[in-house]
Amino acid sequence: MCLTLQDWANIAVFVQAVFVVFALFIAIKQIFEAEKLRKIQMIRELINEIGDEEIKKIRNWVIYDMPEPNQEDPLRGLTLKDIDNARKLAVAYDRICFMIIESKYDIFKKFHKDDVKIIWDKLENLIKYTQKKRVPKRPEYCKSFEFYMNNIYKKTNA
């Protein structure tokens, strides 16, 4: 039996289709691997951000030793060093929340879930004071942290 030119053309189309399906499979696998690497990189950045020795000390102070926030005057009872430390922690968590918002991967669901709520509860008045009353006013100060807590955290932990 002799193959015609049309038979050879059909075989070539079939072989091309097999290669296209194989290439598509490899591309999809690479996309999933890239997503895993992106999550690993984000986790690494998160650990670097909140794993810094100074930030860990400040986080422990805010969680365990910082006076309960005063509704009328969030600065009352805090030294300048306390205020500076609280702001350092707020900015660190703002950066993390920015990464979470941009990546749509909520690392806080699995890591530091309780801490982030406690920290927000203790720093919220200070953050809002900085946004609205401090001179100069900084309306965008810690907006990612605020957005995360008021939208993403509340929805996933309701």
Let me know if residue 58 belongs to a domain. yes
Let me know if residue 48 belongs to a domain. yes
Among candidate residues 110, 109, 154, 145, the one with its CA nearest the CA of residue 127 = 145
pTM for the model stands at 0.73
Domains: count for the chain: 1
Q: Which domain holds residue 115?
A: 41-156
Q: Is the pLDDT of residue 41 over 90?
A: no
Let me know if residue 73 belongs to a domain. yes
- Mean pLDDT score, 106-111: 72
Q: Which residues contact 139 (CB under 8 A, 6 or more apart)?
A: 131, 132
Residue 43: per-residue pLDDT: 79
Q: Is the pLDDT of residue 13 over 90?
A: yes
Let me know if residue 14 belongs to a domain. no
Can you tell me the distance from the alpha carbon of 83 to that of 74, in angstroms, rounded to the nearest whole number? 10
How many other C-beta atoms lie within 10 A of the C-beta of residue 19?
10
Let me know if residue 5 belongs to a domain. no
Residue 60: per-residue pLDDT: 94
Can you tell me the distance from the alpha carbon of 36 to that of 29, in angstroms, rounded to the nearest whole number? 11
How many other C-beta atoms lie within 10 A of the C-beta of residue 116?
21
Let me know if residue 36 belongs to a domain. no
Let me know if residue 15 belongs to a domain. no
